[in-house]
């Protein structure tokens, strides 16, 4: 019955985080607003010409999504470690990696998914052709999901570091660069009317790699952060 218990524990973890987010919805809304504001900066800084914006739209959307995801990472495990519930998880007898995976999944539902769902609006504003939207949604969904895992490792590592927010971005952004390359390139290919299958498959490969190894690294890092 162990697996059943684990499934329930994971479900409860996701439910708990969603409930908490529902009660403090402004924390969820802020990064999404940030995403829109940062995207607005690029036309202001470069050109209002849609034809020129179209050529860099994929990069803009991806960079803005990366930066917006960075903002929420620090809070991923911090409150749980501070109030002691993480210690209970470590001691609970359930595999810690799976529980953390549930937490990261809830985090993605709250921060990654809204970014993905909002991106067609920004894409339209940047003149991205309608044919590329599907690719953009898929690449952002895979990319933000992989980023949640990578960011989860960073958040678990910096959990015992005071004011580790800038440090966390410094650690995670270089690791996330391949995601940016493949994601923006996939959208770029779709804009040019070419098949984006190659970079999308590479993105999916990175996603599964982070999905399989990420929880192990997160669990090891949390154990170091909690025991003292």
Determine, following the binding rule CB under 8 A, whether residue 225 of this chain makes contact with other proteins.
Answer: yes
Determine, following the binding rule CB under 8 A, whether residue 185 of this chain makes contact with other proteins.
Answer: yes
- Taking the least distance from each CB to other proteins, the nearer of 21 and 204 is 204
What string of DSSP letters covers 135-203?
Answer: HHHHHHHHHHHHHHHHHHHHHHHGGGSTT-HHHHHHHHHHHHHHHHHHHHHHHHHHHTTS--HHHHHHH
Are 191 and 58 within 8 A, CB to CB? yes
Among 1, 44, 48, 174, binds other proteins (CB under 8 A): 174
Determine, following the binding rule CB under 8 A, whether residue 194 of this chain makes contact with other proteins.
Answer: no
Determine, following the binding rule CB under 8 A, whether residue 164 of this chain makes contact with other proteins.
Answer: yes
Could you tell me which stretch among 20-28, 61-69, 90-98, 169-177 binds other proteins (CB under 8 A)?
A: 169-177
The distance of closest approach from Cβ of residue 66 to other proteins in the complex, given in angstroms and rounded to an integer, is 14
- Taking the least distance from each CB to other proteins, the nearer of 35 and 77 is 77
Are 63 and 140 within 8 A, CB to CB? no
Determine, following the binding rule CB under 8 A, whether residue 107 of this chain makes contact with other proteins.
Answer: no
What string of DSSP letters covers 23-66?
Answer: HTHHHHHHHHHHHHHHHHHHHHHS---HHHHHHHHHHHHHHHHH
Could you tell me which stretch among 15-23, 90-98, 106-114, 155-163 binds other proteins (CB under 8 A)?
A: 155-163
For residue 168, what are its two tokens? 């966390």
Q: How many residues bind other proteins (CB under 8 A)?
A: 27
Distance CA 176, CA 42 (A): 21
DSSP-derived 3-state class of residue 220:
helix
Among 145, 171, 191, 200, binds other proteins (CB under 8 A): 171
Q: Which residues bind other proteins (CB under 8 A)?
A: 153, 157-158, 160-161, 164, 167, 170-171, 173-175, 177-178, 181-182, 185, 202, 206, 209, 213, 217, 220-221, 224-225, 228
């Amino acid at each position: 019955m162990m697996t059943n218990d684990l499934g329930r524990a994971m479900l409860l973890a996701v439910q708990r985080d969603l409930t908490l987010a529902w009660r403090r919805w402004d924390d969820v809304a802020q990064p999404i607003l940030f995403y829109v504001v940062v995207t607005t900066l690029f036309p202001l800084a470069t050109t209002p010409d849609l034809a020129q914006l179209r050529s860099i739209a994929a990069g803009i959307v991806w960079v803005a999504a990366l930066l917006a995801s960075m903002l929420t990472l620090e809070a991923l495990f911090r409150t749980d470690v501070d109030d002691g519930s993480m210690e209970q998880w470590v001691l609970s007898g359930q595999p810690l990696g799976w529980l953390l995976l549930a937490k990261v999944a809830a985090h993605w539902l709250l921060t990654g998914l809204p970014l993905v769902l909002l991106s067609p609006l920004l894409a339209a504003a940047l003149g991205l052709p309608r044919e590329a939207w599907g690719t953009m949604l898929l690449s952002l969904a895979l990319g933000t999901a992989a980023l949640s895992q990578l960011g989860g490792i960073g958040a678990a590592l910096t959990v015992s570091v005071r004011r580790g927010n800038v440090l966390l971005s410094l650690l995670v952004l270089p690791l996330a660069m391949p995601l940016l390359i493949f994601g923006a390139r996939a959208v770029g290919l779709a804009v040019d009317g070419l098949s984006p299958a190659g970079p999308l498959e590479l993105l999916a490969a990175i996603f599964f790699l982070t999905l399989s190894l990420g929880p192990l690294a997160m669990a090891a890092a949390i154990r170091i952060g909690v025991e003292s």
